[in-house]
A = this chain, B = another copy of it.
Amino acid sequence: MAVAKPKGKESTKGLIVVFTGNGKGKTTAALGLAFRALGHEHRVCIIQFIKGSWQYGELEAAKIFKPLLDFHVMGRGFTWKSDDLEKDKAAAREAWEFAAQTIRENRHELVILDELTYLPHYQIIDEEEILAVLRDKPAAMHIAITGRYASEALIELADLVTEMREIKHPFHNGVKAQRGMEF
């Protein structure tokens, strides 16, 4: 199969892409971006802010792409129990500081901040702190952010925003999550 390389002068402007909304496919779309970028032999870093939201399949697939793909499971999964909340917040802060550092180090063409939006939404991280890092990102770096509740300010800053709207979900019909699909 003949495949043409993309035409035209390659731009160096990296995009900020947001996948938000209540529907399925936000993290999945970010994974698809990673898949594409890895096909270009771009270096990709995925930082997962909510522990446990990624499953066996993608973690195994991620191994296939080493060393191009760095994958970091941060955070704790947000128990929202009062005795654990402070630990959750500390883990979230540590994850964000790691992400900010990763962006500044500029070793990747694409950085995926999976479910980052929950941190400002639940006031664990001041959103202005996040926006400041995004505004100062390396010019050529693409950053993809997923999660519900993307704020107006984040949408304003982003280059491309898609809202995933749930039209129909199998859990409504009593179907359990399927291995290999993992919705």
Contacts and interface: CB of A to CB of B under 8 A. Distances in A.
Interface of A: 1, 3-6, 8, 10-11, 13-15, 17-21, 23-25, 27-42, 55-62, 64-65, 71, 73, 109-110, 142, 155, 158-170, 173, 175-183
Q: 3 nearest interchain CB pairs?
A: A39-B61, A31-B32, A28-B32
A161 to B, nearest CB: 4
15 contacts: A3-B56, A6-B55, A23-B164, A28-B32, A28-B36, A31-B31, A31-B35, A33-B181, A36-B57, A37-B57, A38-B61, A40-B57, A110-B180, A163-B164, A163-B165
Nearest to A171: B160
Contacts of A158: 168
Contacts of A109: 180
A25 B59 CA distance: 21
Nearest to A177: B6
Given A1-B73, A40-B179, A159-B173, 18 more contacts: A5-B56, A6-B177, A11-B176, A13-B178, A15-B181, A17-B181, A24-B160, A29-B32, A30-B32, A31-B32, A35-B35, A35-B58, A36-B182, A37-B180, A37-B181, A40-B180, A142-B178, A160-B168
A110 to B, nearest CB: 7
A21 B64 CA distance: 32
B15 A179 contact: no
A124 B36 CA distance: 30
A1 to B, nearest CB: 6
